[in-house]
Amino acid sequence: SQKIEQNSEALNIQEGKTATLTCNYTNYSPAYLQWYRQDPGRGPVFLLLIRENEKEKRKERLKVTFDTTLKQSLFHITASQPADSATYLCALDGGSGGYNKLIFGAGTRLAVHP
């Protein structure tokens, strides 16, 4: 079955540095991959979507890469700020017929320290 792995340990970085989060998947070839941000007690908020034929996508301070050979996506936040502290989730599409069914990783908690 499909499996998604994200770093279970929290990532602690200093303000201004670049945070890099990893998402690995197995037994699957997704058509696209998404990244979400989740704050405590709230629902996930969509950040970026990258398709299987795209290598990289950027949005302001965010950058996502997608390597279908390595079955890995990297999520970068440049010039990080304490307000970026949250849990970041990667999600894969549920495949053909998987209408609006996302398969989520467990998430990585990011803490940005002043």
Partner 1 sequence: KAGVTQTPRYLIKTRGQQVTLSCSPISGHRSVSWYQQTPGQGLQFLFEYFSETQRNKGNFPGRFSGRQFSNSRSEMNVSTLELGDSALYLCASTVTGAAGDTQYFGPGTRLTVL
Q: Which residues pair with 24 in a beta bridge?
A: 5, 72
**Distances, alpha carbon 30 to alpha carbons 63, 88, 98, in Å:** 19, 19, 11
Q: What's the DSSP call for residue 83?
A: G
Question: Between residue 30 and residue 49, which ones bind partner 1 under the rule CB under 8 A?
Answer: 32, 34, 36, 41-46, 49
Q: Is 84 in the site for partner 1 (CB under 8 A)?
A: no
Q: Is 51 in the site for partner 1 (CB under 8 A)?
A: yes
Count of residues near partner 1 by CB under 8 A: 26
Q: Within 10 A of 94 (CB to CB), how many other CB atoms are there?
A: 16
Q: Is 21 in the site for partner 1 (CB under 8 A)?
A: no
The contact set with partner 1 (CB under 8 A) reads 32, 34, 36, 41-46, 49, 51, 89, 91, 93-94, 97-107
